[in-house]
Structure 1
């Protein structure tokens, strides 16, 4: 984690598995989504975090992925930088920038992803509002440009 509250960025280093590649020797789209998802776990769902409660119910309502470059097995471990672009009462928009091990943070990411995630009550099958602690934690990461 880096930055001051209100401008924090969480970075995860993710290994690229040999099986993540496709016939063209770059990371397959479905595998990239999985790597991004796995990078998000320690940021949001680790025990002791205010947002760990989302493990009891959260749904993805939107996902957009833009590829600007290729990621290959040799590019790992990849770095996934994450923060919030928007935090609402029951949803947030998480931004993810994926860079190869050797790509500097000042360079454009090879992959840019936004995911809209909503808190969800499994018992009622309806969205629920964030608790004060959940929302406060997410707001620590809310900004448009992490640079």
Structure 2
């Protein structure tokens, strides 16, 4: 997989649960936000003029260490395993104050979709070129 984007964001107080650590569902939101910021950096936020855009068909996460507020995280986004209409993404979540420790890592399969037809369409050329380069 190829590193394609890095996004830094704060761990918010409200991200924690009653156990005093970031709730496991929030890690998926971190991964989602990093992926959406990557798409936005490519001019691909939401559906395009033809009604095409990304959908996620599966996602997984491995929780390695417990994140706690306060602090900032860095989400390192990778992309690869390119198909005609889909590609895999992988995200590493790291605290910025401990950059050599991966706190969580996970993946999501992205399918490019015609939203109105609810059918897959080819991955846009600029994203394909970026992943293949």
Does TM, scored on the shorter chain, surpass 0.5?
yes
Please name the residue that 2:69 is paired with. Answer: 73
How far is 1:44 from its partner? 1.5
> Residue deviations 1:85-137, cap 9 Å, x none?
312111111000001122223x4x11010100100101211011113223112
Structure-to-structure mapping, 1:1-147, within 5 angstroms = 7-46=2-41, 49=42, 52=44, 55-56=46-47, 57-74=53-70, 76-105=71-100, 107=101, 109-140=102-133
Structure 1 gaps of 5+ residues are 1-5, 141-147
Q: Which ranges of structure 2 fall in alignment gaps of 5 or more residues?
A: 48-52
CA RMSD of aligned residues (A): 1.8
Give the number of equivalent residue pairs: 128
In the alignment, the residues of structure 2 paired with residue 97 and residue 89 of structure 1 have an alpha-carbon distance, to the nearest angstrom, of 25
More strand by share: 2
Q: TM-score, normalised by structure 1?
A: 0.78
Judge conservation of contact 2:2–2:79 (CA < 8 Å) in 1. Answer: no
Q: CA deviation at 1:23?
A: 0.9
Matched residue, 1:143: none
2:3–2:79 Cα contact (<8 Å) kept? no
